[in-house]
Amino acid sequence: MSEVLVVVEATREFGVKKVTLEMLTLARELGAPSAVVLGGPGAAEALSARLGEYGAEKIYAAESEEIDGYLVAPKATVLAGLVSRVQPAAVLLASSQEGKEIAARLAVKLDNGILTDVVGLGADGIATQVAFAGSAIVKSKVSRGLPLVTVRPNSVNPIPVAASPVVEQLTVAVTDSDKLARVVERVAEQKGSRPELTEAGVVVSGGRGVGNADNFKLVEELADLLGGAVGASRAAVDSGYYPHQFQVGQTGKTVSPQLYVALGISGAIQHRAGMQTSKTIVAVNKDGEAPIFELADFGVVGDLFKIVPQAADEIRKRK
């Protein structure tokens, strides 16, 4: 069975990211999953147990200060060498900012096609892809080279299958032009206890209808009760109600949780672009004609300041 390379996304504090486990699950349907860890010295050892729990049969470890100390260029170079040698059935990266940039550089180096924002991939190489800012779902296939795809977080249900991965150390040889953008400092994001927005199973978002920054406590309270992340529309962000890194939409983050709750959000096309692949959408809006209701699985026409506290009380009771 051909290998399928999964490029590992991980953080220093929390280890392997959920999207990596999702990609390993997807890779198992396509061939033999091999995880590729690109990081500083010792990076693979810290991650290997978790990667094995999700079926990684092999781990390629490219560990070097040259990988850790520079932006994505060295990673693309190492990957290009590995892909040329192994000739995998497919290469999967996360549809994150970094994953997409590595994939794009890899595609150029290999003169290979690329598909981004993929939400499904068959053994025949046909991908289901979210295109045109989320307004279209298309079937596509890389017609030049191997399937090189970036996978959107939350597209696949991660299922563990134990494996005992063999670790192979890769030689890291990068060029001077790979080392033009050096990392000078890393600052851990202040996150609190909420899950990361793009990886959360539940997202509760507030829009201009929330009215002001203080009222966003209501959005946060509901998110916390549901164990979810908080999002915001651009109008809410532009009005200063909530920080920009939580913006959902065409010019913000793309989310695809099991449950998306939209509070006081009208449902403009640019907002929908970032959340319309959510599995279940619940909307609360006092305007029954708001476009968000065209998309919602469950809609409540009413004042969010009455509805949300009632919903929160009910959730507390049932807990």
Ligand X SMILES: Cc1cc2nc3c(=O)[nH]c(=O)nc-3n(C[C@H](O)[C@H](O)[C@H](O)COP(=O)(O)OP(=O)(O)OC[C@H]3O[C@@H](n4cnc5c(N)ncnc54)[C@H](O)[C@@H]3O)c2cc1C
Question: What are the binding residues?
Answer: 208, 233-234, 247-251, 264-271, 285
In Å, the largest CA–CA distance within the chain is 61
Residue 294 makes contact with ligand X by CB under 6 A: no
Binding residues for FAD: 208, 233-234, 247-251, 264-271, 285
Q: How far is the CB of 266 from ligand X (least distance, A)?
A: 3
Residue number with the smallest Cβ distance to ligand X:
249
Contact window for ligand X (CB under 6 A) among 35-43, 85-93, 142-150, 258-266 = 258-266
**Site for ligand X contains 265 (CB under 6 A):** yes
* Contact (Cβ atoms closer than 8 angstroms) between residue 33 and residue 25: no
CB nearer to ligand X: give 223 or 235.
235
Sole window of 68-76, 82-90, 112-120, 243-251 interacting with ligand X (rule: CB under 6 A): 243-251
Q: Least Å distance between CB 309 and ligand X?
A: 12
- Shortest reach from residue 130's CB to ligand X, in Å: 15
Distance CA 55, CA 44 (A): 15
Least distance in Å: CB of 50 to ligand X? 33
Exactly one of 88, 99, 249, 299 binds ligand X (CB under 6 A); that residue is 249
Decide: is 154 part of the binding site for ligand X (CB under 6 A): no
Contacts of 9 (CB under 8 A, 6+ apart): 16, 17, 19, 20, 94, 96, 98, 99
**∠ CA 55-60-62, rounded to 5°:** 140
Q: How far is the CB of 212 from ligand X (least distance, A)?
A: 11
CA angle 197, 200, 205 (to 5 degrees): 55
The verdict on 264 binding ligand X (CB under 6 A) reads yes
The residue (of 88 and 134) whose beta carbon lies closer to ligand X is 134
Contact mark string toward ligand X, 297..316, x via CB under 6 A: ------xxx-----------
Cβ–Cβ under 8 Å, residues 300 and 264: no
Using rule CB under 6 A, residue 247 touches ligand X: yes
* Residue type for position 7: V
Q: Which of 165, 207, 228, 257 binds ligand X (CB under 6 A)?
A: 207
Residues contacting 255, CB < 8 A, separation 6+ = 154, 197, 198, 200, 203, 229, 231, 248, 274, 275, 278
Chain residues that interact with ligand X, rule: CB under 6 A:
207-209, 233-236, 247-252, 264-266, 268, 270-271, 274, 284-287, 290, 303-305
